[in-house]
Amino acid sequence: MSNAESGLTNHEVTVCLAGGAVLGPFNATWTKNEGGDVRELMREYDAYLQGDKQHRFKFHLHDTYTRTVHTLILDFAQVTGVYDHVRLRSNDG
């Protein structure tokens, strides 16, 4: 279980905007030890859809494959959807 908790997850995040524009897809990686706001983006947007006020506007998506960081500044009032495709790390050694 400990191995699964600290395991690497590889996300491909796409943001759909009002009017039909699309941002992404952005490759992003999240681990317990490495930064990145993939999960926070999803939590914040979900809370917003459930009626909470938006608290964060800037999110950093870390891509460890290309060693880059994507910074998204979003107004959730203009976002119609967020798609997070997750590729789980294989348990095979």
pLDDT score at 3: 43
Inside any domain, residue 42: yes
Structurally, the chain folds into a number of domains equal to: 1
Inside any domain, residue 93: no
pLDDT tens-digit map of 6-25:
556 789 999 999 999 999 99
Inside any domain, residue 44: yes
Cα–Cα distance measured from residue 39 to residue 37, given in angstroms and rounded to the nearest whole number: 6
- E-only strand ranges, the chain: 9-17, 22-30, 58-63, 68-73, 79-88
pLDDT tens-digit map of 58-91:
999 988 888 899 999 999 999 999 999 987 766 6
pLDDT tens-digit map of 32-54:
666 678 889 999 999 999 999 99
Query: Can you give the residue range of the structural domain that contains 74?
Result: 2-88
Whole-model pTM?
A: 0.81
Taking the CA of residue 63 as centre, how many other CA atoms within 13 Å lie in the half-sphere pointing to its CB? 13
